[in-house]
Amino acid sequence: MQHVIRRSGAIILLTFSVATAAETPADFIARFQAEARQSDQHFTASSARGQHFFNSVHANDWSCSSCHTKNPAAQGRHAKTGKSIDPLAPSANTERFTSNRSVEKWFRRNCGDVLGRACSAAEKADVLAYLMSIKP
């Protein structure tokens, strides 16, 4: 009886840990791309478009690069407070784009701050394509 309980406990634990496992940048870009294709079936994430978007000044006089700099593999700096920000490019910072909660939160906040609106799935896919193209 005990070994049955232990085994089912282990299975439950394994399932739970798989369900909440950290994702990878590749997982995120696949998801954003799939979501973007619901509106535009021909959509393909573009690193060039992502770079342009990243460096463009949007509604609130900021660009993504205002804080994350034009070289996302470098240390960034908050445009207002001056606080140092760890690199955004996954090649320079292995913690980036590994947590769904974190990715959702920062896109929500930062797109709101920079664009004054939510980023679309296509925009997120493009930005991530750009970030993933950066070598350390």
Nearer to other proteins, 26 or 59 (CB): 59
Nearer to other proteins, 82 or 136 (CB): 82
Quote the tokens at residue 74: 């470098």
H, E, C per residue of 66-128: HHHCCCCCCCEECCCCCCEECCCCCCCCCCCCCCHHHHHHHHHHHHHHHHCCCCCHHHHHHHH
Nearer to other proteins, 36 or 115 (CB): 115
- Relative orientation angle of helices 121-133 and 25-36, to the nearest 10 degrees: 150
Could you say which residues in the range 73-102 bind other proteins, by CB under 8 A?
A: 77-78, 80-85
By the 8 A CB rule, do 68 and 131 touch? no
Tokens 């070994």: give the residue: 3
Nearer to other proteins, 33 or 63 (CB): 63
- Name the one range near other proteins by CB under 8 A: 21-29, 35-43, 50-58, 107-115: 107-115
Quote the tokens at residue 131: 């970030």
Closest CA to 26 of 128, 136, 101: 128
Selected binder of other proteins within 40, 109, 118, 133 (CB under 8 A)? 109
Could you say which residues in the range 10-69 bind other proteins, by CB under 8 A?
A: none
Nearer to other proteins, 35 or 113 (CB): 113
Smallest gap from Cβ 59 to other proteins, in A, equals 13
Q: Which residues bind other proteins (CB under 8 A)?
A: 77-78, 80-85, 108-109, 112-113
